């Protein structure tokens, strides 16, 4: 058996590392899943208490009718922009470094949408009343628009996740048949759609992915715009703001980038993906996070300056509760811990490391939760009549359901890790193959330019291994 080249060796290591989570399960995984199941079970117990007793067990009342649940709804829908939107933008711009992280990002989108879509149901005292929205909903209502946009986005995101999975499902079909349970073998055979990597299949797959990435970008932008309209279509301060749509979309992408960074760091550590998810990926996403720090600061300054300049009684009350009132701790944590500190961690070269960027992502995620909370609850606290402000304190039921929602998010991600490769093997292999060809050609061109006979005639004397690049095998069969 002859020696294999570096490209083929890389691909074999990649396949082995990417498929390892599907076949090897350690004790730590079972402990993690068991812990998450316990938290989910506690959240379900709290929810059954709410169903049995009614919303009286929560801190919500007639004046504060939205609380933690709607805060989580807005947060999870925002995090869902992590995958599909950011992945599609990186594909459109042909950013080759994206290949190892797009699969994780697209997982986040689907799971966050699944969890986030449940939160309005939890917020209903009678969940069966959702049927009234489906049967008798008024098309003039932003709530109906929200239902349609989220359903469309979830459907499109599942398709966008599935299409690039097909070659890797075929890889699982071919590599994991022996010793795998019957249901898994059948699943891989059916889900891979008979993929063999023929030129026609690759061409059709590329066209389908290209079509979906163009369609999914406007859908993703519209989703969080419509979510913002639930608030912005009212005459209540501070929701009565035409900038809310753009502000919500920017905040969604901001929290989504942070979500990608956190999942990358976690899976990189657990499954030893350091060769494929490198410091470069963290730095590139860190730059994107830093750019959105500036965008979020711009939106905040613009909002407070324009509304403060036209100060009225409602705006004055809202500013007082944010700057020095009941919501001040959350507001200042968001401003300092969620914007300024992450921006500095990314700006300063000394802290622009994997650890520094992950720390910034943690702070951004916590800060965006605080920001969603004081948008939802802070807006409802502004009195519309000459009465004292309403108060709201979440109860153990709400905190438990929130913990169960986050645990459910983590549990679904953990289960996905055992069903699908976490890295897009075929995309990473193709990108590495292209780089392996591109770099020697650049070196050879520079060498040829120095030859006295000129680059045209020097082509006959390419140094190895450049001279034999035309015989390099490509992924899916054939020669260059």
Reduce the secondary structure of 224-272 to three states and give it as a string.
HHHHHHHHHCCCCCCCCCCCHHHHHHHHHHHHHHHHHHHHHHHHHHHHC
| pLDDT attached to residue 468 | 47
What's the pLDDT tens digit per position in 221-259? 888 899 999 998 988 888 888 888 899 999 999 999 999
* Residue 451 pLDDT level (bands cut at 50, 70, 90): low
Domain boundaries, the chain: 67-110+141-388, 428-480
Task: Note whether 98 and 90 are within 8 A (CB).
Answer: yes
What CA–CA distance (Å, rounded) separates 412 from 401?
16
Task: Note whether 160 and 423 are within 8 A (CB).
Answer: no
Task: Note whether 18 and 422 are within 8 A (CB).
Answer: yes
| pLDDT attached to residue 460 | 46
DSSP notation for 447-470: HHHTSTT-HHHHGGGPPTTGGGGG
pLDDT for 93 beyond 80: no
| pLDDT attached to residue 102 | 86
pLDDT for 477 beyond 50: no
What CA–CA distance (Å, rounded) separates 445 from 61?
72
What CA–CA distance (Å, rounded) separates 440 from 273?
26
pLDDT for 273 beyond 60: yes
| pLDDT attached to residue 448 | 54
Q: How far is CA 451 from CA 36, 41, 246, 454, 462, in A?
A: 65, 72, 56, 5, 11
| pLDDT attached to residue 3 | 60
Topology of domain 67-110+141-388, per CATH?
Formate dehydrogenase/DMSO reductase fold (1.20.1630)
| pLDDT attached to residue 462 | 47
Provide the β-strand partners of residue 120. none
What CA–CA distance (Å, rounded) separates 469 from 142?
58
Q: φ, ψ for residue 479 (rounded to 5)?
A: -125, 160
Q: Closest Cα partner for 71 from 374, 479, 426, 346? A: 374
Chain-wide mean pLDDT for the chain? 85
* Residue 436 pLDDT level (bands cut at 50, 70, 90): low
| pLDDT attached to residue 298 | 95
Cα-to-chain-centroid distance, residue 327 = 28
Please state the rounded mean pLDDT for residues 20-27: 84
* Residue 50 pLDDT level (bands cut at 50, 70, 90): very high
* Residue 135 pLDDT level (bands cut at 50, 70, 90): confident
pLDDT for 123 beyond 80: yes
**Helix or strand run (H / E) with residue 285:** helix 279-309
Q: φ, ψ for residue 383 (rounded to 5)?
A: -70, 135
| pLDDT attached to residue 474 | 40
| pLDDT attached to residue 200 | 92
pLDDT for 446 beyond 70: no
| pLDDT attached to residue 175 | 83
* Residue 365 pLDDT level (bands cut at 50, 70, 90): very high
| pLDDT attached to residue 25 | 83
Please state the rounded mean pLDDT for residues 307-329: 90
pTM for the model stands at 0.86
């Amino acid at each position: 058996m002859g020696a294999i080249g570096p490209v083929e060796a890389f691909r074999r290591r990649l396949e082995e590392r990417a498929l390892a989570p599907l076949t090897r399960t350690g004790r730590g995984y079972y402990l993690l899943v068991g812990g998450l199941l316990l938290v989910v079970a506690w959240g379900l117990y709290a929810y059954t208490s709410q169903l049995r007793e009614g919303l009286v067990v929560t801190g919500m009342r007639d004046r504060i009718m939205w609380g933690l649940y709607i805060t989580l709804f807005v947060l999870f829908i925002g995090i869902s922009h992590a995958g599909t939107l950011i992945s599609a933008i990186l594909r459109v711009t042909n950013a080759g470094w994206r290949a190892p992280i797009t699969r994780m990002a697209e997982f986040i989108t689907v799971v966050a949408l699944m969890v986030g879509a449940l939160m309005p149901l939890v917020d209903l005292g009678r969940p069966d009343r959702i049927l009234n929205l489906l049967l008798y909903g008024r098309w003039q209502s932003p709530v109906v628009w929200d239902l349609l946009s989220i359903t469309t986005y979830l459907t499109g995101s599942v398709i966008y996740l599935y299409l690039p999975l097909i070659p890797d499902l075929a890889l699982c079909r071919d590599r994991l048949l022996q010793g795998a349970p019957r249901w898994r073998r059948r699943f891989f055979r059916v889900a891979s759609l008979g993929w063999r990597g023929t030129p026609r299949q690759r061409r059709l797959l590329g066209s389908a992915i290209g079509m979906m990435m163009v369609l999914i970008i406007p859908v993703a932008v519209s989703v969080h715009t419509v979510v913002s309209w639930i608030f912005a279509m009212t005459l209540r301060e501070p929701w009565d703001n035409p900038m809310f749509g753009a502000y919500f979309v920017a905040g969604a992408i901001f929290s989504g980038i942070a979500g990608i960074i956190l999942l990358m760091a976690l899976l990189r550590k657990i499954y030893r993906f350091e060769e494929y998810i490198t410091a470069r990926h963290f730095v590139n996403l860190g730059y994107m996070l830093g750019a959105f720090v500036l965008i979020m600061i711009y939106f905040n300054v613009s909002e407070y300056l324009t509304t403060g300049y036209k100060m009225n009684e409602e705006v004055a009350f809202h500013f007082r509760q944010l700057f020095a009132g009941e919501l001040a701790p959350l507001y200042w944590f968001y401003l300092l811990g969620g914007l300024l500190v992450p921006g500095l961690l990314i700006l300063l070269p000394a802290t622009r490391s994997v650890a520094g960027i992950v720390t910034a992502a943690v702070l951004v995620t916590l800060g965006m939760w605080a920001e969603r909370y004081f948008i939802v609850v802070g807006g409802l606290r502004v009195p519309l009549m000459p009465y004292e402000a309403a108060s709201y304190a979440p109860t153990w039921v709400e905190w438990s359901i929130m913990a169960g929602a986050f645990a459910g998010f983590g549990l679904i991600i953990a289960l996905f890790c055992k069903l699908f490769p976490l890295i897009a093997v075929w995309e990473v292999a193709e990108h590495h193959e292209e780089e392996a060809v591109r770099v020697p050609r650049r070196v050879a061109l520079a060498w040829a330019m120095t030859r006295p006979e000129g680059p045209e005639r020097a082509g006959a004397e390419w140094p190895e291994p450049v001279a034999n690049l035309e015989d390099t095998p490509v992924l899916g069969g054939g020669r260059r």
